[in-house]
Amino acid sequence: MSEGKNRKMNVKQISERLNKENVKKGFEYIRRNGVSRFWTLAKAKAFPAGKSYKEWYEEHCPTKEELMRQREVEFSVQPLISIVVPTYQTPIPFLKDMIDSVRKQSYEKWELCIADGSLNGDENDTKVIRVREELNRYSMEDKRIKVVYLEENQGIAENTNQALALATGEYIGLFDHDDMLTPDALYEIVKAINDYDYDVLYTDEDKISENSHDYKKPVFKPDYSPELLCANNYITHFFVAKKSIVDRLEGFRKEYDGSQDYDFIFRCVELAKKVGHVSKVLYHWRMHGGSVAGDPTSKMYAYDAGKKAIQSHYERVGIQANVEHMERLGLYHTEYKMIKQPLISVIIYGEDDEKKKRCSEWFKRKDYSNLEILASAGISVEEINALAEKARGSYLFFVSENLESVERDALQQMAGVLQIQNVGAVSGKVIGRKHTVEDVGVVFRTNGDLCKANYGIGDCDYGDMFRAKVMSNYSILSLNCFMTQKNTFEELGRFNKHFSLSFAAADYCLKLRMHGKRCVMQASTVWESKGSMKTDIINDEERERFYKEWQEVLRMGDSYYNSNYAKQGALYILE
């Protein structure tokens, strides 16, 4: 692409972003983080590589011809999809958009189950009359649209239960009364069900403006990430579950009103054997003054209910933890209670004896007392393996000589995560001397390249999907500050001595994956680099060896890096 064309695109993208909402956000960012960090962020936002979302969306919308072809497809499994919607005095334009978006589906085996709770004591209220006139008209025109009129508004959870009572399909889809589906949404859902027989599944989404003309703020999600779900309801829309699972839940619970879907999703995935993700934008979440999408503080009760939903999930699955709100509403931090305080073997690696001594002293001053400290003579994998073999701890913590954590209880936080069933490794976020992110997880590319996620963003920035601030899953973690169980480490044959540190860590993490274990980035546990990070030199020969070892996994793509993002070059941009 020519330099002139790049400039033209950048000016266009800047003009699209320069609005009252973003100016207000900019001043608030400066107030909290200072001008220097704001300027770093602004340059990254104003001069992004890749396409704007508007351009990308226009290119990826299904054409009329594609929708026609989809209508002709005969799947071997053709489930009836019951879409449940509680309506409440829905603005008529939004109501029409919502219903019409379902009627335009290229997969036509659906039913729309609506429970209208608009009546609030006055039958002559014009809002009530207009909503019910529209619903009557639609239900008369299309017998797939079922409507029940409630005598009073029972709250969103109970209203949704009334809509759910109308459902007869094999799968249940959750839909808000002012949102929209793309015309290929159900087709893509059914295609995924045929390909993988998912019990529950979800899609990517974006926001739609109040006038229904602008699509913005896409949410390109990772595949199912249990730890991320406990930090943020990233699944949200469009969520579909087998009715056989839904029937076991006894409906939505009114004590979670505002986050009743979050609670519902937790209970569904707890029962599901296979959780799927359709990596396509199939849902438009409406932005307007009264919606959470438009103004997060408009429904504070919803965030309190979300916190309660996470806490209840932990209690059901037997995890002892406390959930707290984070500064940004809708994000949650979990402090895991240590069932016991196991011996942790801290293995400090590096080549500077003074730095290793300083690092060792730092650990001795912190809250976690049941530990032993070992130091390697260098950064070779064989030396590190030898120390791990001698270690007496049930947990091994590998850490660079340059790191110190800003939290006194850093080891306890990380060890707490490692107690969770099927978690095989945990790491923390590393911040450099210039207050930028040096390590918050690793993404692998299909050619074997390893890329640092959210690298170089400011330490106060949230990164893609908020994952630079919250707990989430990654396929690969680096060895900068890396904790794993010793018995697992021994069972998997330790680090592969034929790799340097970077690829040895990647190899170990992929072995964990093959054994059904997850890697967790605890980004709220922050480690600061006190010097230049010593890294091993990666050469083409080693990359090729890693690729040959893991080519079947690599070709499938990184589960936690959305497939819509660029396959080469910078991460998190659209091609």
CATH of residue 104: 3.90.550.10
Write out pLDDT tens, residues 326-335: 999 999 999 9
- Asked whether residue 326 is domain-assigned, the answer is no
What is the DSSP track for 113-126?
EEEE---SS-TT-H
Can you tell me the mean pLDDT for 405-425?
91
Task: Report the range of poorest mean pLDDT among 162-171, 333-342, 528-537.
Answer: 528-537
Distance, CA of 427 to CA of 289 (rounded, Å): 39
The helix (run of H) or strand (run of E) holding residue 240 is: strand 239-242
pLDDT for the residue numbered 405: 85
The predicted pLDDT at position 293 comes to 52
Domain end residue (candidates: 274, 303, 332): 303
- The residue behind tokens 């949704």 is 160
Q: How would you class 122 by CB atoms within 10 Å of its CB: exposed for 0-12, middle for 13-18, buried for 19 or more?
A: exposed
Task: Please tell me whether residue 439 adopts helix, strand or coil conformation.
Answer: strand
Helix (H, G, I), strand (E, B) or coil at 415: helix
3 state DSSP class of 371 = strand
pLDDT at 413 over 50: yes
Residue 62 neighbours by CB distance under 10 Å: 17
Question: Please, is 552 exposed, middle or buried when counting C-beta atoms within 10 Å of its C-beta (0-12, 13-18, 19+)?
Answer: exposed
Q: Is residue 15 part of a domain?
A: yes
Domain identity same for 486 and 528: yes
CA distance 473 to 228: 7
Between these two residues, 225 and 11, which has the higher pLDDT value? 225
Same domain, residue pair 83 and 43: no
Of 383, 386, 423, nearest in space to 536 by CA: 383
- Whether residue 350 contacts residue 358, with contact meaning beta carbons closer than 8 Å, is answered with no
The amino acid that residue 332 corresponds to is: Y
Confirm whether 199 is domain-assigned: yes
Given a contact cutoff of 8 angstroms between Cβ atoms, the answer to whether 118 and 136 are in contact is no
Residue 308 lies in a domain: no
| Token couple for 133 | 């006139």
pLDDT computed for residue 3 by the predictor: 37
Residues 534 and 440 in one domain: yes
Region 323-347 average pLDDT:
93
pLDDT value, residue 297: 62
The mean pLDDT of 454-472, rounded to a whole number, is: 94
Q: Does one domain contain both 348 and 469?
A: yes
More confident residue, 366 or 462: 462
Nearest to 438 by CA among 487, 498, 379, 478: 478
Q: What pLDDT does 32 receive?
A: 53
% residues pLDDT > 70 (the chain): 88
Q: Is 40 helix (H, G, I), strand (E, B) or coil?
A: helix
Residue 561 lies inside a defined structural domain of this protein: no
The dihedral built from the CA positions of residue 497, 500, 501 and 506, taken in this order, carries a sign that is negative
- Name 14's Cβ contacts closer than 8 Å, sequence gap at least 6: 46
DSSP state of 406: S
Helix (H) or strand (E) holding 546: helix 540-556
Lowest mean pLDDT among 2-16, 189-203, 231-245: 2-16
Outline where 327-422 has alpha helix (H).
Answer: 353-364, 381-390, 410-418
Lowest-confidence pick of 157-171, 360-374, 499-513, 542-556: 360-374
Cα separation, 67 vs 523, whole angstroms: 42
Where residue 8 falls among pLDDT bands split at 50, 70, 90? very low
Residues 459 and 524 both lie in one domain: yes
Q: Are residues 70 and 34 in the same domain?
A: no
- Helical segments of 123-234, H only: 126-141, 156-164, 185-196, 226-229
Q: Which of 98, 82, 79 is nearest to 90 (CA)?
A: 98
How much is the pTM? 0.89
- Asked if residue 135 lies in contact with residue 114, where contact means CB atoms within 8 angstroms, the answer is yes
10 Å CB burial of residue 462 (0-12, 13-18, 19+) is middle
Q: Which domain holds residue 419?
A: 342-556
- Reported confidence tier of residue 7, pLDDT bands at 50, 70, 90: very low
pLDDT at 569: 84
Number of domains in the chain: 3
**Among 256, 272, 303, where does a domain finish?**
303
Q: φ and ψ at 373, to 5 degrees?
A: -120, 125
Q: Among positive and negative, which fits the CA dihedral 539, 532, 486, 419?
A: negative
Which tokens go with 160? 């949704």
Determine the average pLDDT of the residues in 129-142. Answer: 95
> For the chain, give me the number of helices (H) and strands (E)?
19, 22
Based on the fold, state whether residues 69 and 40 are members of the same structural domain: no
The reply to whether 441 and 516 lie within a common domain is yes
- CA dist 481 and 347 (Å) reads 10
In a domain, 194, yes or no: yes
Confidence of residue 47 (pLDDT cuts 50, 70, 90): very low
Cβ neighbors of 275 (< 8 A, separation 6 or more) are: 198, 199, 200, 201, 224, 269
Angle at 488 between CA 483 and CA 489, to 5 degrees: 65
The better pLDDT of the pair 5, 101 is held by: 101
| Residues forming beta bridges with residue 181, ordered by sequence position | 283
> Residue 236 and residue 557: Cα distance in Å, rounded?
23
Query: Same structural domain for residues 222 and 357?
Result: no
d(CA 62, CA 560): 25
pLDDT of 92 above 60:
yes
Residue that finishes a domain, picked among 303, 330, 364: 303
Peptide bond between residue 238 and the one before it cis (omega within 30 degrees of 0)? yes
The yes-or-no verdict on residue 24 having pLDDT over 80 is: no
Q: Can you give the pLDDT at residue 9?
A: 44
Distance, in Å, from the CA atom of 218 to the CA atom of 281, rounded to the nearest integer, reads: 8
Select the more confidently predicted residue: 448 or 45. 448
CA 410 – CA 298 distance, rounded (Å): 35
Mean pLDDT of the 486-504 span? 94
pLDDT (tens digit, 9 = 90+) per residue, 245-295? 999 998 999 999 999 999 999 999 999 999 999 999 999 999 876 555 555
pLDDT at 134: 96
CA distance 568 to 560: 16
DSSP string, 448-493: S-EEETTTT-BTT---GGGTTTSEEEESB--STEEEEEHHHHHHTT
CA distance 19 to 489: 52
Instruction: Give residue 542's pLDDT.
Output: 86
Mark whether 84 and 173 lie in a shared domain. Answer: yes
Identify the pLDDT of residue 338: 85
pLDDT of residue 121: 67
Two structure tokens written together for 385 = 């393996």
User: Among 242-251, 287-296, 311-320, 414-423, which is the least confidently predicted range?
Assistant: 287-296
Residues 22 and 123 in one domain: no
270 located within any domain = yes
- List, for residues 49-74, the tens digit of each pLDDT value: 678 999 999 999 999 999 999 999 99
Q: Based on the domain organization, do 90 and 194 belong to the same domain? A: yes
Judge whether residue 16 has pLDDT over 70. no
What is the average per-residue pLDDT within 423-446?
Answer: 93
What is the pLDDT averaged over residues 502-529? Answer: 95
**What is the C-alpha to C-alpha distance for residues 404 and 368, in angstroms, rounded to an integer?**
14
Residue 354: pLDDT over 90: no
What rounded mean pLDDT belongs to the chain?
A: 89
Taking 90 as the threshold, does the pLDDT of residue 537 lie above it?
Answer: no
Distance separating alpha carbons of residues 289 and 210, to the nearest angstrom? 9
Compute the distance between CA of residue 401 and CA of residue 328 in angstroms, rounded to an integer.
33
Of the two residues 264 and 17, the one the predictor is more confident about is 264
Residue 571 included in any domain: no
Least confident among 236-240, 288-292, 431-435: 288-292
The per-residue pLDDT for 1 is 35
Separation in Å, CA 191 to CA 6, 102, 276, 277, 393: 38, 17, 12, 12, 48
Closest CA to 425 of 368, 507, 367, 524: 507
